[in-house]
Amino acid sequence: MLLCPVAVTEPVETAKALIELNKAYPDKPLIAAYMGGETLAEGARLLATNGIPTFAMPEPAIGALAGMTKYTEFLKRDLNGGINNFKPDQKTVKAVFYDVKRDKRLTLLGCEAAEVASAYGIPATPVKLSRSPEEAVVMAEEIGYPVVLKVASPKILHKTDIGGVIIGLNSASEVKTAYVTIMENTHKYLPKVIPYGVEIQKMVPRGTELIVGMTRDLQFGSMIGFGLGGIYVNLIKDVSFRLAEGLTENEIKEMIAETKAYALMKGFRGEKPVDIDAVIGVIKHLALLATDFPEIMEVDINPLIAYESGAAALDVKITLS
């Protein structure tokens, strides 16, 4: 309702009529724009005290109506994120979180984070924890060469910086040597940190490196992020965000299309396109995990390797509250 001051304007009587109209049709949104300053002030106050949003100009009134429309669309969203038939393994996640808290930690080890991700349908590359060079060899041969070895400690965020990651290992002797080297490097650069051991992971083929993550905001709740991954993520800062709860497939497609990563995913300069549906699936399942477990404060999947068919979560980090 737009009202301007002219000779026959009756702001109070108009306001009373609008109030009665609002009572007769309570399901219909009613917003008023009283453009007259003090000449219409009494009528505007009457509308406001009766619960009818009233503005001095039409632009904010239109903005309020647009906001109401968006909020209505938000409430109509599929709160299962379009994965109604998927049944996650919540028991496994609860058991892992129980063990982590019993150990008086908030950050999961790589093997624990991979187990949680897999329980929610995220294609995490399996990780095994070894506590000796000999055990590392046994696990490497079970996984199959080539393998990667990483120091296992929640206190070390950037393992590569201290020589805590060695890749491309193809034999038992290389694994043994790498295990010893990683432990020596850790003691050299971080003498106060006692690692849990060394984690072993299968080497995966190269692909398009992406990042998918979640952070819990005190005001907005859990937010899902997506963008280019790998070592340049902090330099390029190509990330888009959406609310995790009720995240729909269309919203996921929109957030992917907002990033520079999308051009690479579609196939850039003759490169083959990647499996975008697989990436969408990872984001859906991460949103479900974040919604089901409010104690998760942060998840970082970097990189998520996208292939022509499928995807692999190569490095998963999870932090609890």
Please check the confidence at residue 321 and state whether its pLDDT lies above 70: yes
In tens, the pLDDT along 266-301 reads 987 778 899 999 999 999 999 999 999 999 999 999
User: Are both 226 and 305 inside the same structural domain?
Assistant: yes
* End-of-domain residue from the set 59, 75, 91: 75
User: Are both 235 and 316 inside the same structural domain?
Assistant: yes
User: Are both 183 and 216 inside the same structural domain?
Assistant: no
What's the whole-number mean pLDDT along residues 124-145? 97
In tens, the pLDDT along 224-253 reads 999 988 766 666 678 899 999 888 999 999
Residues 174, 27: Cα–Cα separation, whole Å: 72
What CATH number does the domain containing 148 carry? 3.30.1490.20
What's the whole-number mean pLDDT along residues 33-56? 81
User: Are both 225 and 191 inside the same structural domain?
Assistant: no
Going by C-alpha positions, the residue among 239, 249, 248, 245 that lies closest to residue 223 is 245
In tens, the pLDDT along 61-100 reads 788 777 777 666 655 555 455 555 789 999 999 999 999 9
User: Are both 43 and 60 inside the same structural domain?
Assistant: yes
pTM of the model: 0.74
Residue 156: CB atoms within 10 Å: 19
What's the whole-number mean pLDDT along residues 55-63? 82
* End-of-domain residue from the set 202, 217, 245: 202
**Domain total of the chain:** 3
Residue 118 falls inside a structural domain: no
The Cα angle at residue 83 between residues 79 and 87, in degrees rounded to 5: 110
- Supply the range of the domain harboring residue 15: 2-75
User: Are both 237 and 216 inside the same structural domain?
Assistant: yes
User: Are both 171 and 147 inside the same structural domain?
Assistant: yes
pLDDT bin (cut points 50, 70, 90) of residue 40 is confident
* End-of-domain residue from the set 75, 97, 112: 75
User: Are both 70 and 160 inside the same structural domain?
Assistant: no
Residue 105 falls inside a structural domain: no
Please check the confidence at residue 117 and state whether its pLDDT lies above 70: yes
Please check the confidence at residue 7 and state whether its pLDDT lies above 80: no
Phi, psi (rounded to 5 degrees) for 257: -65, -20
Residues 4, 36: Cα–Cα separation, whole Å: 6
What CATH number does the domain containing 45 carry? 3.40.50.261
Residue 88 falls inside a structural domain: no
What's the whole-number mean pLDDT along residues 302-315? 95
The Cα angle at residue 217 between residues 214 and 221, in degrees rounded to 5: 80
DSSP H/E element including 215: strand 208-217
In tens, the pLDDT along 186-221 reads 999 999 999 999 999 999 999 999 999 999 987 778
User: Are both 198 and 213 inside the same structural domain?
Assistant: no
What's the whole-number mean pLDDT along residues 151-168? 93
What CATH number does the domain containing 283 carry? 3.30.470.20
Please check the confidence at residue 32 and state whether its pLDDT lies above 90: no
The Cα angle at residue 188 between residues 299 and 140, in degrees rounded to 5: 60
pLDDT bin (cut points 50, 70, 90) of residue 3 is confident
Confidence at residue 29, expressed as pLDDT on a 0 to 100 scale: 84
User: Are both 168 and 213 inside the same structural domain?
Assistant: no
Residue 103 falls inside a structural domain: no
User: Are both 221 and 288 inside the same structural domain?
Assistant: yes
Residues 237, 146: Cα–Cα separation, whole Å: 32
Confidence at residue 236, expressed as pLDDT on a 0 to 100 scale: 66
User: Are both 212 and 312 inside the same structural domain?
Assistant: yes
